[in-house]
Amino acid sequence: MKNQICTILGGGGFIGRYLVRNLTKKNYRCIISTRKAFQKGYLKTQATPGAIELVDWNSSNFSELKEAIKNSDIVINLIGILYETRKQKFYNIHANIPEAVAKICSESDVKKFIHVSAIGANENSKSLYQKSKYQGEVKSLNNFKNTIILRPSVVCGTEDNFTNLFSKLSILPVIPVVGMNYKFQPILVNDVADAIVQAIEMKGNEGKIYEIGGPKIISFGDMVKLILKTINKKRFVVPMPMPIAKIQSTITDLLPFPPILTKDQCEILSEADNVVSDNNLTLKDLDIEPTDVEEEMKKWLWRYKDGGQFAKAK
């Protein structure tokens, strides 16, 4: 039996590197579309020669990607941005691309299209990020009946931009936090990769939405304190009033790469908590027991300790 072919959009990103390894272990052949493919050669070390093909792709040119999708059994979309730039806009990345991919899938012999969205996707949100995520889900489901939506909470892992960011901020004596009481359900990146593979292999789940989160619900403030505890740093964690945060973000939004919070992210922190609801399927329906992120992050945050990996707790 020939190996199934899986095309992964954004496979060179954070989740992609873990997902590719999981798929190749199960003998999927992976076609990975990514920007600057020449920088993603490390992905080819995760499988036997010929099992992974890199395609240099950008959203303005669908011809090569269209050919890859038409020859695929499974298509996975991991593309997403956390803030807008002059060239990358939420609506185009989160809504237009999934719509275009879903249409190509409907014209091909693709068995399933896995679209990774986010918990909090909502058409009525004030956040353009959350609104565009919702639009991407709708467009995907409407254009290809075998679409499956995965909505993860905050994803953590060795290369993440969350636990690593606040570990770096520990150089400051005081760490201001916006939305101290905002709750989320951090999930390990390995579990997200496992969930995608399970969603592919599970039967009869076409058209379904999965909300996936870790085993614990924690507030933003407590998570920052937990990160500091993990790296043996004692710092003052203080709440930043939302009005001040929005004023500050209006200024930082002008930078090419906003250092911390954008104005749109402030809107997210002003809305509903980022936790798994009772309205959709969950990790339990994928037969996955979520990993304890608190324990796992000790394995990558040790490098921020003053004494390194073997430093004793204070």
pLDDT of residue 285: 97
- Domain range 5-154+187-213+275-290, CATH architecture: 3-Layer(aba) Sandwich (3.40)
pLDDT band at 291 (very low <50, low <70, confident <90, very high): very high
Task: Among 10-14, 82-86, 114-118, 263-267, name the most confident range.
Answer: 114-118
Measured N-to-C along each axis, helices 97-106 and 63-70 cross at an angle, to the nearest 10 degrees, of: 40
Element (H, E) at 119: none
Question: Is residue 27 classed as helix, strand or coil in its secondary structure?
Answer: coil
Single pTM value for the model: 0.93
Q: Tell me, what DSSP letter sits at residue 234? A: -
Yes or no: say if 301 and 232 are a contact pair by the CB < 8 Å rule. no
Summarize the chain as % helix, strand, coil (round to 5): 40, 20, 40
Distance, CA of 306 to CA of 233 (rounded, Å) = 8
Yes or no: say if 33 and 10 are a contact pair by the CB < 8 Å rule. yes
Choose among 105, 8, 114: nearest CA to 53.
8
Choose among 220, 9, 209: nearest CA to 122.
209
Distance, CA of 271 to CA of 253 (rounded, Å) = 20
pLDDT of residue 1: 46
Choose among 107, 106, 131: nearest CA to 121.
131
Domain-by-domain residue ranges, the chain?
5-154+187-213+275-290
pLDDT band at 128 (very low <50, low <70, confident <90, very high): very high
Residue 88 burial by CB count (10 A; 0-12/13-18/19+): exposed, middle or buried? exposed
| Helix ranges restricted to H, the chain | 14-25, 63-70, 90-91, 97-106, 128-143, 163-168, 189-201, 220-230, 242-252, 263-269, 293-296, 298-301
pLDDT of residue 50: 83
CA distances from 100 to 61, 77, 105, 136 (A): 11, 11, 9, 10
The share of the chain scoring above pLDDT 90, in percent, equals 74
DSSP string, 57-79: --TT--HHHHHHHHT-SEEEE--
**Cα 232–Cα 237–Cα 243 angle in degrees, nearest 5:** 155
Which residues, including other chains, have CB under 8 Å from residue 203's CB and lie 6 or more apart? Answer: none
Query: What is the per-residue pLDDT across 83-125, written as a single tens digit (0 to 9) for each?
Result: 988 888 999 999 999 999 999 999 999 999 999 999 999 999 9
Q: Which residue has the higher pLDDT, 311 or 145?
A: 145
Number of H helices, E strands in the chain: 12, 13
Mean per-residue pLDDT for 189-200? 97
Which residues, including other chains, have CB under 8 Å from residue 155's CB and lie 6 or more apart? Answer: 14, 15, 162, 186, 187, 188, 189, 192
pLDDT of residue 140: 98
CA distances from 24 to 21, 48, 50, 190 (A): 5, 9, 11, 14
Residue 210 β-bridge partners:
150, 281
